[in-house]
Every structure is written in structure tokens, then in C-alpha cells.
């Protein structure tokens, strides 16, 4: 199972509108070992009405009460997005970017994007979902704020309209998301009732939640990366700094190694120990030819030799004289 999990470094808007910072984060994500870096492409004007308030976490993390003003500061032009895509190619990491309307999504795919990520807030955007199906790319569907009924409905719609792989990413849309809000076992229900292609978009602090999700079958893990979690911005506080992100990926790979496979095959190193810690039957006294073996004259002891502990020779007769402390062989018995 080694390195089978796709790890997305979610830069999102943690570039704070700065192209140089965005490139630095791409490079750091690559060094850490991420498979994909993800951005967001939007126009505040097309995205939100001017009087829309910021979400509570956005206001808390930025001090900006207007969602329009907040998003305006975080915009990147399509030319900047293309520059970032080219930089990803230069450093050999896959580029991914979420769009929030059909036209922008088509534009991103035309730039050469190989996958489509539907953000949690757009899960009920049928026009966007329709375009995603038309573009015929693998789809990652984030599900923050959605209930099971909504998720199943959206998945069924996408499945009906594309033959490409669809991955459902469980998500809690809180930044950061407290442990009690994560509901990770929901991954088991998705896997049982909808699809085996599951993933986890992790907005919690630390590493543990993603490792648990991996154990529940997640094939994709998404986690925010930032230069510094103390920076002003909506998502920095739910992000890992570069050092933490590298450790995060290391732990994900360790978890993969620990999970192994469903086939139980003892490690070759275990086989060397097995003979030393399993038991065989040994003579506990001198035994004469024709003597019946009983619980007093034979005993189970280490190491494993001939007749193992599954065999019970009690009640059988000895074929020959046996010295005390010797392993009992099958050919020693009548």
C-alpha cells in the first residue's frame, strides 16, 4: 500500500493575494512530499453580493466583516493562476484549482488541469456540477455542511453523467474544526452505502484526524499549508506550517505502512522468532519403550522442534526408550 494515498496541499487563499508567496508555498509543498497543490480561482464581484457578511470564522481570523472585501483581497487573476500552474510543472507537482462557476471551471481545464475539485459550498450548484461532468475529468467532491441525503443525491447525479472516477471527500467546514465536530466514522457509511472512493479534507489542528481517516479507507487526504498560522487570513489557523506539513506527510506514509493489507502474512523476521517462542512436546522423565505418555512424563516447552503444541500425544505409547529432556518426534510414537 506504500504511497498510495494522494496528498493535496491546500494552499487555497493562504497566499494572501501574493504571487511570490503562492510560489513559495508550492515549493514547500513539493519538498514536504505532497502530490498535488490546490488553489482557488474566483472573482469577488461574481462570487458574492457586496453586503454579504463574513462567516464567523472569517471575521474572527481576519477582522473583516464584509465577505466581499475579504475575498477581494485574496483574488488572483487568470494570468496569475496560469503562472502558478506553469510553476507547478517546473517543480514537478500537480496543479489543482477550485472554481465557483461553470465558465471559470472550463477555463481552468483549458489551462491543462487534469482533475476537478468541487468545493463544499458549491455541492448544490447544479450548473457547476453539470459543467464538471461535461469536462470529463476525475472529480473530487468536498462535502462540508452537507448531510447524507444531499451527498447521495449529488453523487448519483454526477455518476449518471460521467464515467470518470468520483471521490467523496468528507469534511467539516470549521476553521479550525474541533475534534468533536469531525464525525470521521461517517467515512465508513459513505464507503458502505455509496462508494469506496473516499477521502478526507482535514480542517482540524494537527495530524491525528487524517491518520484515522486513512485507517477508515480514505484514498485522498487534503490539508491546508501556510507559511505561518499567525498570518491574517481566513484559513491560516486551520493550516500546518512547512515543518508541520512535512511531519504530517511522514505520519501519513507511516500510517500507510502500518495498515499494510488485508492479507495476513507474518513478517520474515517474525518467523525467526516463532521457533524460539512456540512450544513442542519434550520428555519430562526418562520414558521406556511401550510406556504410555501422560501429563507427568511429557511437557510443553520452548523452543519449537517436532511435535508442536497443537498435537497432543498424551495416551500414546513410546516406540523406543527416550531420554529425559529430548524433543518428541512423530516417529517416536506407536
pLDDT tens digits for range 20-77:
999 999 999 999 999 999 999 999 999 999 999 999 889 888 999 999 999 999 999 9
pLDDT at 2: 44
Q: How confident is the model at residue 214 (pLDDT cuts 50, 70, 90)?
A: very high
Residue-range domains of the chain with CATH: 6-259 (3.20.20.70), 268-332 (3.90.1210.10)
Residues 6+ positions from 269 with CB-CB distance below 8 Å: none
Q: How far apart are CA 119 and CA 253, in angstroms?
A: 26
Comparing 154-168, 173-187, 256-270, 299-313, the range with the smallest average pLDDT is 256-270
pTM: 0.88
Average pLDDT, the chain: 96
| pLDDT band per the 50, 70, 90 thresholds, residue 1 | very low
pLDDT in tens, 273-298: 999 999 999 999 999 999 999 999 99
According to the model, what pLDDT value does residue 110 have?
Answer: 98
Closest CA to 242 of 255, 253, 228, 231: 228
Angle at 181 between CA 66 and CA 14, to 5 degrees: 45
CA neighbor of 8 nearest in space, from 223, 251, 237: 223
Mean pLDDT within 295-314? 95
Amino acid at each position: 500500500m506504500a504511497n498510495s494515498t494522494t496528498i493535496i496541499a491546500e494552499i487555497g487563499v493562504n497566499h494572501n493575494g501574493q504571487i511570490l508567496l503562492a510560489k513559495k508555498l508550492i515549493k514547500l509543498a513539493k519538498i514536504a512530499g505532497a502530490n498535488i497543490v490546490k488553489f482557488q480561482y474566483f472573482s469577488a464581484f461574481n462570487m458574492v453580493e457586496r453586503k454579504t457578511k463574513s462567516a464567523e470564522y472569517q471575521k474572527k481570523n481576519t477582522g473583516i466583516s464584509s465577505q466581499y472585501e475579504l475575498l477581494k483581497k485574496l483574488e488572483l487573476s487568470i494570468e496569475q493562476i496560469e503562472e502558478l500552474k506553469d510553476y507547478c510543472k517546473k517543480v514537478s507537482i500537480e496543479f489543482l484549482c477550485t472554481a465557483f462557476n461553470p465558465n471559470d471551471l472550463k477555463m481552468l481545464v483549458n489551462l491543462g488541469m487534469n482533475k476537478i475539485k468541487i468545493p463544499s459550498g458549491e455541492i448544490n450548484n447544479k450548473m457547476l456540477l453539470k459543467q464538471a461532468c461535461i469536462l470529463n475529468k476525475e472529480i473530487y467532491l468536498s462535502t462540508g455542511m452537507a448531510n447524507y441525503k444531499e451527498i447521495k443525491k449529488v453523487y448519483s447525479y454526477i455518476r449518471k453523467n460521467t464515467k470518470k472516477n468520483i471521490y467523496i471527500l468528507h469534511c467539516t467546514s470549521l476553521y479550525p474544526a474541533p475534534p468533536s465536530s469531525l464525525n470521521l466514522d461517517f467515512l465508513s457509511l459513505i464507503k458502505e452505502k455509496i462508494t469506496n472512493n473516499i477521502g478526507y479534507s482535514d480542517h482540524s489542528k494537527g495530524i491525528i484526524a487524517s491518520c484515522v481517516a486513512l485507517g477508515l479507507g480514505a484514498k485522498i487526504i487534503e490539508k491546508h499549508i501556510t507559511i505561518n498560522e499567525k498570518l491574517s487570513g481566513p484559513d491560516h489557523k486551520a493550516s500546518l506550517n512547512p515543518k508541520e506539513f512535512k511531519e504530517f506527510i511522514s505520519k501519513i506514509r507511516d500510517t500507510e505502512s502500518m495498515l499494510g493489507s488485508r492479507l495476513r502474512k507474518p513478517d520474515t523476521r517474525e518467523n525467526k522468532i516463532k521457533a524460539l517462542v512456540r512450544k513442542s512436546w519434550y520428555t519430562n522423565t526418562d520414558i521406556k519403550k511401550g510406556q504410555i505418555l501422560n501429563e507427568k512424563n511429557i511437557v510443553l516447552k520452548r523452543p519449537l522442534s517436532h511435535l508442536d503444541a497443537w498435537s497432543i500425544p498424551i495416551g500414546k505409547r513410546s516406540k523406543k526408550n527416550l531420554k529425559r529432556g529430548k524433543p518428541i518426534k512423530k516417529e517416536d510414537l506407536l
